[in-house]
Amino acid sequence: MGGLVVLLAACQPDSGPRALVFAVAQAPVNLDPRYATDAASERVNRLLYQRLVEFDQASRVVPGLATWDMPDSRHYRFHLHQPAASFHHGKPVTATDVKATYDSLLQLKNSPHTAEFRHVTQIVTPDPQTIEFALSEPDPHFPARLIIGILPADQIAAHHDFAHVPIGSGPFKFERWHSRLQLVRRSDGLPVYFDEVKDPNVRVLKLKRGEADLLQGDLPPELVKYLQKQTGITVQTGIGVNYSYLGLNTQAVFLRDVRVRRAIAHAIDTQAIIDKVMVGHSRQANAILPPEHYAGNAGLQAYGYQPALARQLLESAGVKLPLTLVYKTSTDAQRVRLATILQAQMQAAGIDLQIKSLDWGTFFADVQTGNFQMYGLTWVGIKTPEIYSKVFGSNNRPPAGFNRGGYRDVVLDDLLQKEEWPAITRRIHAQLPYIPLWYEGQFAAYRATIAAYQPAPDGNWDDLAQVVFHPAR
């Protein structure tokens, strides 16, 4: 026991209070919420900043820093909660800070978030607790867009470097960021270190050795299973909402025929993949938004694995078997492994899947420019049903939206206009511009020193604000 204590003590990054070391696959890139787009930055920013709105379990927008009302269809009025939250540098969060944050965002030319607020014509603050947004056109989803962390107005005016020295009002405050990022929990002073460890095997060894206290996601299933067998390590799993799919180029020869797309769906044994090579709590997907989402559809039935039916569908579409399709994916080992499984399964249906594994930059550039027949990706952290319009709306080819496969469907466009979510999801499920795969289960692995940690369905790290250590250890 004495040796263990010495060992654990030696692994603490600094002397002083107990610390938590979180080994992450990717370090954050930019901690200014007006710029951040990568998952790690957005997850850390949720700890550093507070937002005007949050989302509940069904992804409905709920008050964050403020409640709101709608004087008319083009105006939203937000009322900050009292007593006011405080920034890490001591000043209270006021309407001026909210206005300064969004005003500065609107003026930025190099922010990926500015486009979301193109229709904001004016922001005014009638009093220190109230902010009014005036829009050029009605937007029922406007509150759901207000997820940018609020920055202090005085620091915006001083051109503070939020990207590297963030100041927010969230449950964690920034301490330092040299080779590793260090935050401190405001409630009890707990230091939390974010160690970037790219190799999954090394992350596991660090957890086992005690150099890391916590891992979340980004491990191949066999390593999760390995960790589940280790004493002194707890693996907590939970459902996920991030949607994995096969994107199809619906303008390509054969793939423009819905029978071919259905044949592909019938050529994949999704459930077998989930059972054999996915982490616990992974589940079959039938739509981008999961059934528990307010715009979800629990009534959709999965396309079963029926290779004989797939062959029939291909032949009825005039395809000479085998049908050769090129599947593009990244070089990520798990992605490549899944590609080889798909290749083997599709063979039985008369589809010769040729795998092209590309470095991320090249792969994503090909996806964005429509240079593909088929690719595999995951939508992460999607909250609003507007995604259906952005992804499948005929007018939403990039750069207007994410309709990368060039899908055109006037029936769907009409339904999207009316926002009839059950009918929209049924139509998409029948027409299959995407082949739905699964919502991968979430998991966290932590050492016995931690009492409990629950991974969030979208993979965020919010539970760091609640995590506690066993007092006796």
Partner 1 sequence: MRSWGAIIKRIATVLPVVFGVLCLTFALLHMVPGDPVDVMLGESASPADRFALKAQLGLDQPVLAQFGHYLLNLLHGDFGVSIHTQTPITQLLVQAYPATLILAVTALSIGLLVGIPLGIWSALKAGHWQDVMVTLVSIRLAAMPAFWLGPVLMLVFAVWLGWLPVSGMDNAASILLPALTLGLGLSAILTRMTRTSLLEVLNEDYIRTARAKGLSERRVLLKHALRAALLPMVTIVGLQMGSLLAGAVITETIFSWNGIGRLLVDSIEKRDYPVTQACVLVVALSYVLINQATDIAYRWLDPRTRNAR
Q: 374-379 and 323-329: which strand pairing? A: parallel
Cα–Cα distance for residue pair 370/200, rounded to 1 Å: 31
Q: Does residue 115 belong to the site contacting partner 1 (CB under 8 A)?
A: yes
* Residue 400 interacting with partner 1 (CB under 8 A): yes
- The yes or no reply on residue 196 touching partner 1 (CB under 8 A) is yes
Tokens of residue 385, six digits: 């049903």
Based on CB atoms, which residue is closest to partner 1, 5 or 70? 5
Whether omega before 322 lies within 30 degrees of 0, making that bond cis, reads yes
Q: Do the beta carbons of residue 431 and residue 303 sit within 8 Å?
A: no
Are the C-beta atoms of residues 149 and 67 closer than 8 Å to each other?
no
CA–CA separation, 57 vs 352, rounded Å?
A: 41
Q: Is 121 in the site for partner 1 (CB under 8 A)?
A: no
402 lies in the site for partner 1, by CB under 8 A: yes
Q: Does 226 bind partner 1 (CB under 8 A)?
A: no
Q: Binding marks (x or -) toward partner 1, 160..179, rule CB under 8 A?
A: ---xx--------------x
SS3 assignment, position 276: helix
> What single letter denotes the amino acid at residue 87?
F
> Measured between alpha carbons, how far is 93 from 158 in angstroms, rounded to an integer?
17
Is 200 or 441 the residue whose CB approaches partner 1 more closely?
200
Q: List the one residue from 121, 187, 354, 369 that touches partner 1 (CB under 8 A).
A: 369
Q: How far is the CB of 451 from partner 1 (least distance, A)?
A: 24
143-151, 167-175, 191-199, 246-254 -> range binding partner 1 (CB under 8 A): 191-199
Q: Is 37 in the site for partner 1 (CB under 8 A)?
A: yes
Task: Please name the amino acid found at residue 105.
Answer: L
In terms of CB distance, is 64 or 433 closer to partner 1?
433
Select 254 or 364, whichever has its Cβ closest to partner 1: 364
**What is the chain's alpha carbon radius of gyration, rounded to the nearest angstrom?**
24
What distances in angstroms separate CA 29 from CA 61, 108, 115, one per listed residue? Answer: 27, 18, 21
Selected from 251, 360, 430, 473, the binder of partner 1 by CB under 8 A is: 360
Query: What's the CA gap between 156 and 87, in Å, rounded?
Result: 13
**Residue placing its CB nearer to partner 1 in the complex, 23 or 263:** 23
Nearest to residue 415, comparing CAs of 397, 396, 392, 432? 392
Token pair listed for 132: 């009014």
By the rule CB under 8 A, 15 interacts with partner 1: no
CB of 112 vs partner 1, minimal distance in Å: 4
Binding site for partner 1 (CB under 8 A): 7, 13, 29-30, 37, 109-112, 114-116, 118, 163-164, 179-180, 195-199, 201-202, 205-206, 208-209, 211, 359-362, 364-366, 368-369, 371, 390, 398-402, 404
